Structure 1
Amino acid sequence: MSDVREWFIGLKVLGMRQSLETTAILLSRLGMPHLKFPSIHVAGSNGKGTTCSILSNCLSLAGVSCGLFTSPHLCFVEERVRIDGVPISPEIFDQCLERIRGEALVEPVTMPTYYEATFLVAMLAFEGAGIDRAVIETGLGGRLDSTRLVHADCCVLTELALEHTDVLGETLGEIAAEKAAIARPGEIFLAKWTYDAEARKSIEDAVGDHKLGFWWRPDRALLVRFDDTDKSHRPISEIATPSGWSPYQKEASILAHATLTMLELFKAARMMPSALLHTVWPGRVQWLQHEGVPILIDAAHNPSGMQKTCDQLRVQMEQDEAPTPGIVLLGCTAQTDLVGFLNPLVELLVQGEVGHIVVTEPEKGRRPAIKTSVLASELEAQGVPAVIEQVKRPEEALQRALELSKQDASQPILGIGSIYLVGNLLTALGMDTIEAMTTLRPSEDGKHWT
């Protein structure tokens, strides 16, 4: 490991910082790289990474060189910083780190956190590559997230959920206020409709000019301006999505298309059908094959995400579009509502008559994993009629799931839970490569890019 990489890893001891001050100081010392290109800034609880990847790929396919910043990473830190879908190299990452460390050590010494450093790396890498535009995903919340410092000419808010309540607030309205704070004066703001009145008020209050704020209402397939909610509305055109896509993936494509249209990036908007064919967002409703066993992995990391994934799987099972999982591999980090998180999965397990569940503890995450004993006890309390095995390490849990699958005609495995679990599984499957983490790829059936 290089000296600068050791310095970077050491920044983890600083934990999480809810402040813009350090990042702002270092951006100034680095020559304000974040202002060298316009950005689309995306916040939310579910679907924001998918929305970002689709936006980025539409732009790249339209000939717009696009940087994509997301977090956390699944397998290696460079995947947080992509240019036209490809993670930057470790060499470029380290070169950016050297510049950041040099400026951080200037008196007065100003040390970034690990997350702040990755954001700064992205800004330097994007500047160095001469990108035309960036798509930026918030890390946690929005109001005090480093990404709020980018020059954004459009902001997008995806689905909200009760998450990180210890930091963002205990109600959906409080969480909405934190996330909607990414709104920029005089710029376009799009948000997915929420039925929570407090959350809607928080979002609308964050947008000064309601003529620039728009709700996407999936229940009516309408895009509604904030100040036109009591008037007739115009529908968004139907967008065909690949079979097997989850509801939040379909919503992400609609939000992305609306965003590009609002920005008058019409060529990029016209690339949507091609982008949907060529977008691979690792670890999100992703089917893989390993040793002849089909494996579906998904980062359903909160109750609403789990509900949507399980609803999608149920529909696919009923319509014979996807096989019923025979073994479930589950692991997650601390949940505000563990019962609510597990309930959709329990219903799917009962309906699909799943015989085995292997519970494990995700590794290398920022948040602590829920103990296997706790997960097993809760599943038993909810009446799961399956054999539950506890295997602490994810790699060993995957091997056990593969053994169980091969005992009965290679039953499909569903690996579901935290983002960190998905990263552990992908690494164990040998998917921790630049190629595997590239989000813009030729389609399997060989269709052309455009």
Structure 2
Amino acid sequence: MSLVVPGSTASLTEWLAYLELLHHQPIELGLDRIRVVAQKLALTHPFVKITVGGTNGKGSTCAMLEAILLAAGYRVGMYTSPHLIDFNERIRVNGENAGDAQITEQLARIEAARGEVSLSYFEYTTLAALMLFEQSGLDVVVLEVGLGGRLDAVNLVDADCSIVTSVDIDHTEWLGDTREKIGWEKAHIYRSGRPAICADPVPPESLVAYAKEIGADLWLFGHDFNYSGDRQQWGYGGRGRRRSGLAYPALRGANQLLNASAALAALEALRDRLVVPQQAVRLGLSQASLPGRLQILPGKPTVVLDVAHNPHAAAALAQNLDAMSFYPYTHAVVGMLRDKDVKGVVAKLARRVNRWYCASTEGPRGLEGTQLADIVREVLPPPGKDPVTVSSFINPVQAFTEARKQAAGGDRILVFGSFATVGPVLKELGRKVH
């Protein structure tokens, strides 16, 4: 059955539905297809380009770079994925989500240019972002790598500076099952002779070796850049630049100084092309926002939203929960994708949760709430004097609604496990993303 190409008046929703059906595999890594179409579109990328890869911390690092560069007066584009509520969150121009018409215009141009070349949903949208950025006359763009690095569509771009935030186990079916294999894949966003930032305190040897092999200018955390801080303020130290007396980033969490120092290392490495005064750093760090990353909503009970979906992120979430006030009960609304290390994630939080509300997630990679509940029961420690309860629900909103009914004013509700869990709950709460 041949698909009908959306017409000139088609909505963004119609275009995205078309893209989802167009390619036979939702994820198909490789740069050959996208390179062919990019050449047909004559993309030139006439701006400073920063790519950000890594297992965790990518979104936060991108958000801080965007906010600092905007505060410094630059025209900035940012491309991230996935989205929480609206697709438009993925493509931002000068601090604003791209409009539907801006995106559909680019999708129509790609459709006309691609000919017989089959592109995945992510390849289409990556090209659309790059085209819109080119059209918008930007000074600098920040591009989040979708999956891995070597074969991800974003790696089409020869970045002026690349950051790997962290390397841990995730997406094993595509990237390998060890940090060394995954680190090698992620290191491929680095470029010969250009700054290559690594914020992982214990970088895989494969990443260091690859950077040396291609002659990248490798900046290692703890060696080429670092941070220090006390309760009031923190400071960054790089190869030739120090920034002291900084307020803590608006983004909460134990790892945010690591992410912030990676962003500042990238800006130091690009100092010949981007002038960023101290005031822009201060302002940017205070204004950076990223929904769904240790997002604490006002009101009672306390609601904490976090898209943590692998053991590394769940361990950071657990640390952040421990740093919060005392709560008599913690209610966890959790939904995950079936290709994640569900047991590993649940194990990191098992001793911190009193009531589990397991939700089904949508899509081909979705995991049924009943299956998730079985895994949670398997991982939980033996019951104590106050037994932990586990229940299942057909979707995250239903699970969250029940958690709110059960939680007392002094309790805490944690919503985590996936963008597919946090997004629907945020939408239900009517919280506007950005």
- Structure 2 match to 1:314: 322
Query: SS at 2:296's partner residue?
Result: strand
2:278 is the alignment partner of 1:274 = no
- Higher mean C-alpha deviation, range 136-145 or range 240-249: 240-249
Within 5 Å, which residues of 2 pair with 1:294-443? 294-317=302-325, 326-334=330-338, 337-349=341-353, 354=354, 356-364=355-363, 367-369=365-367, 371-383=369-381, 385-405=387-407, 408-409=408-409, 411-431=411-431, 436-438=432-434
CA distance change for structure 1 residues 342 and 96 in 2, over 3 Å: closer, same or farther?
same
- Structure 2 match to 1:215: 220
2:107 is the alignment partner of 1:102 = no
CA distance change for structure 1 residues 177 and 269 in 2, over 3 Å: closer, same or farther?
farther
Deviation of 1:307 (Å):
0.3
- Structure 1 match to 2:146: 139
CA distance change for structure 1 residues 325 and 51 in 2, over 3 Å: closer, same or farther?
farther
**TM-score normalised by the chain length of structure 1:** 0.83
* 2:227–2:258 contact (8 Å) kept in structure 1: no
* 2:250–2:289 contact (8 Å) kept in structure 1: no
- Structure 2 match to 1:22: 33
Q: Find 2:211's aligned residue among 203, 206, 212.
A: 206
- Structure 1 match to 2:80: 70
Deviation of 1:211 (Å):
7.4
* 2:343–2:379 contact (8 Å) kept in structure 1: no
Taking the aligned partners of 2:183 and 2:345, their CA distance within structure 1 comes to 20
Letter in 1 for 2:357: V
CA distance change for structure 1 residues 92 and 40 in 2, over 3 Å: closer, same or farther?
same
* 2:373–2:390 contact (8 Å) kept in structure 1: no
CA distance change for structure 1 residues 169 and 261 in 2, over 3 Å: closer, same or farther?
same
Taking the aligned partners of 2:151 and 2:64, their CA distance within structure 1 comes to 25
- Structure 1 match to 2:131: 124
- Structure 2 match to 1:447: none
Query: SS at 1:316's partner residue?
Result: coil
CA distance change for structure 1 residues 151 and 235 in 2, over 3 Å: closer, same or farther?
closer
Q: Tell me the number of residue pairs that the alignment of Structure 1 and Structure 2 aligns.
A: 407
Within 5 Å, which residues of 2 pair with 1:255-266? 255-264=262-271, 265-266=274-275
CA distance change for structure 1 residues 269 and 372 in 2, over 3 Å: closer, same or farther?
farther
CA distance change for structure 1 residues 343 and 300 in 2, over 3 Å: closer, same or farther?
same
* 1:40–1:136 contact (8 Å) kept in structure 2: yes
* 2:247–2:286 contact (8 Å) kept in structure 1: no
* 2:250–2:286 contact (8 Å) kept in structure 1: no
Taking the aligned partners of 1:325 and 1:12, their CA distance within structure 2 comes to 46
Taking the aligned partners of 1:412 and 1:12, their CA distance within structure 2 comes to 42
Deviation of 1:194 (Å):
4.4
Within 5 Å, which residues of 2 pair with 1:53-68? 53-68=63-78
Deviation of 1:236 (Å):
6.0
Taking the aligned partners of 2:336 and 2:421, their CA distance within structure 1 comes to 7
Within 5 Å, which residues of 2 pair with 1:81-230? 81-104=91-114, 106=115, 109-195=116-202, 199-208=204-213, 212-217=217-222, 221=226
CA distance change for structure 1 residues 96 and 345 in 2, over 3 Å: closer, same or farther?
same
* 1:194–1:200 contact (8 Å) kept in structure 2: no
Q: Find 1:252's aligned residue among 259, 264, 280.
A: 259
CA distance change for structure 1 residues 5 and 307 in 2, over 3 Å: closer, same or farther?
closer
**Backbone CA RMSD of aligned residues:** 2.7
* 2:358–2:390 contact (8 Å) kept in structure 1: yes
Taking the aligned partners of 1:311 and 1:235, their CA distance within structure 2 comes to 31
- Higher mean C-alpha deviation, range 385-394 or range 331-340: 331-340
Query: SS at 1:281's partner residue?
Result: coil
**CA deviation vs aligned residue, 1:209-249 (integer Å, no higher than 9, x gap):** 6671111139x9469xxxxxxxxx98965543147821222
Taking the aligned partners of 1:325 and 1:59, their CA distance within structure 2 comes to 41
* 2:308–2:418 contact (8 Å) kept in structure 1: yes
Taking the aligned partners of 1:210 and 1:367, their CA distance within structure 2 comes to 39
CA distance change for structure 1 residues 309 and 421 in 2, over 3 Å: closer, same or farther?
same
Deviation of 1:256 (Å):
0.6
Deviation of 1:387 (Å):
1.6
Deviation of 1:73 (Å):
1.2
Query: SS at 2:323's partner residue?
Result: helix
Taking the aligned partners of 1:222 and 1:288, their CA distance within structure 2 comes to 29
Letter in 2 for 1:395: V
**CA deviation vs aligned residue, 1:129-186 (integer Å, no higher than 9, x gap):** 1111100010111001111121311010011111111110111100000000111111
* 1:363–1:424 contact (8 Å) kept in structure 2: no
